[in-house]
Amino acid sequence: MSMMTPAVEAAASRRAPPERIRVDIDERGYDILVGAGLLTDAATYASLPADAVAVVVSNTTVAPLYAERVASCLRGRFRAVGLVSLQDGESHKAWPAVEQIFDALLATGADRHAWLFALGGGVVGDLTGFAAACYMRGIAYVQLPTTLLAQVDSSVGGKTAINHPLGKNLIGAFHQPRLVVADLETLATLPQRELVAGLAEVIKVGAAADAAFFDWIEANLDRMLGRDMQALALAVGKSCTLKAEVVRRDEKEVGLRAILNFGHTFGHAIEAATGFGAWLHGEAVGCGMVLAADLSRRLGGLDANDAARVAALVERAGLPVRLPAVAAERLAELMLHDKKAEGGVPRFVLLDALGRARVAAVHEHLVLDVLRDGGAAP
């Protein structure tokens, strides 16, 4: 996304067309576009209505990098284009930010036909989607994910939410976007720690849903860590394809979709215990996957070699594999607020094998054993 010199323009015109993945859920279906240079290409938005009001939602880190160029591209199509820049960080995934989005919509003259554009990582995406679900009882929105984590996971599937001090994502709605645009060029400005956090969700989808993809991640991890664009394009495309299929089969998480929460019961408790933001979401999920693999092994599902492969891959990615200094009992208590908990009993995504996951309640004493051992590789 550099300024377009003639040479860059020529290169852009030779760019391959984006990969197009369909989230096929009847009248709420939509495309995910994966490619380079998409955010500022007018063709990206060609299917959107002309002459509506648009508001781009971003944050104080991402807006200076990309928002003006996106807004000027949208001005070719929309009647009025507003921009709101939220404070950056997980701790701001809360009501005041939602109110700011409503204020910007009203200031731009947005009616029920207005469109929101979420330009940023998962925090901006979740906030914007939630505001879109609420404003005038629901307006359209587009996801423009700029982190690896948002491109491979959070921008797809219509889960929107804000946090509550007692737990992650407790206030929210299912509200599908109309389009997802994963522009791989935005990953060039992403800090390495954030890239690594995104790899946690790539590992997650391989571990929970596709053993061959897990093998591919093991073999190509170094390329992704080195930002090889071909490897990252493949990781984003494959993760989105797998997620689109899960969402097609279980949009509202009645059953199957819960497998996409592998590592998250532990991970959400780590995030809540450490005060949203100290650990990145992907880091908490990384450690959570090591614990969940260990729990699966102790329950006799996953063999020790495969549990060790999960732990080794998480560690090699540069993600934490040991718990923070928080009492096991405190983490166990926080898990009771997890959305998968039923009747006061937390439920976990367990692996029977790599690529094969299920959800089950687990007796507290076993969970405490895993927490006390703290994510040690089996």
Give contact residues for ligand NAD (rule: CB under 6 A): 59, 61-62, 65, 88, 90, 93, 120-124, 126, 146-147, 149-150, 153-154, 157, 159, 168-169, 186, 189-190, 194, 197, 281-282
Catalytic residue flag (residue 93): no
Q: Among 223, 79, 232, 96, which residue's Cα sits nearest to residue 151?
A: 232
- Catalytic residue selected from 253, 271, 309, 347: 253
Find which of ligand GLY, ligand NAD, none residue 98 binds, CB within 5 to 8 Å per kind. none
Catalytic residue flag (residue 264): yes
Which residue's CB is nearer to ligand GLY, number 7 or number 254? 254
338 binds ligand GLY (CB under 6 A): no
Smallest separation (angstroms) from ligand GLY to the CB of 231? 22
Burial class from Cβ neighbours inside 10 Å (0-12, 13-18, 19+) for residue 128 reads buried
CA distance 78 to 207: 42
Site for ligand GLY in 158-217 (CB under 6 A): 159
Catalytic residue flag (residue 363): no
Smallest separation (angstroms) from ligand NAD to the CB of 96? 16
At CA 217, angle to CA 347 and CA 19, rounded to 5?
100
Smallest separation (angstroms) from ligand GLY to the CB of 156? 7
Which residue's CB is nearer to ligand GLY, number 4 or number 171? 171
Smallest separation (angstroms) from ligand GLY to the CB of 176? 11
Position of minimal CB gap to ligand NAD: 122
Task: Tell me which of 44, 239, 261, 296 binds ligand GLY, using CB under 6 A.
Answer: 261
Catalytic residue flag (residue 168): no
CA distance 92 to 25: 31
Smallest separation (angstroms) from ligand GLY to the CB of 29? 16
Smallest separation (angstroms) from ligand NAD to the CB of 82? 20
Which residue's CB is nearer to ligand GLY, number 176 or number 261? 261
Task: Tell me which of 54, 197, 260, 334 binds ligand GLY, using CB under 6 A.
Answer: 260
Task: Tell me which of 92, 93, 238, 257 binds ligand GLY, using CB under 6 A.
Answer: 257
- Catalytic residue selected from 264, 297, 309, 347: 264
| Binding window for ligand GLY (CB under 6 A); candidates: 93-101, 151-159, 271-279, 353-361 | 151-159
Which residue's CB is nearer to ligand NAD, number 307 or number 357? 357
157 binds ligand GLY (CB under 6 A): yes
263 binds ligand GLY (CB under 6 A): no
CA distance 335 to 160: 20
Q: How far is CA 295 from CA 93, 257, 330, 359, in A?
A: 30, 20, 18, 12
Residue 310: how many CB atoms within 10 A of its CB? Answer: 30
Find which of ligand GLY, ligand NAD, none residue 147 binds, CB within 5 to 8 Å per kind. ligand NAD
Find which of ligand GLY, ligand NAD, none residue 121 binds, CB within 5 to 8 Å per kind. ligand NAD
CA distance 140 to 118: 11
Catalytic residue flag (residue 201): yes
The residues carrying an active-site annotation are 137, 159, 201, 243, 253, 257, 261, 264, 268, 281
Residues that bind ligand GLY (CB under 6 A): 153, 157, 159, 257, 260-261
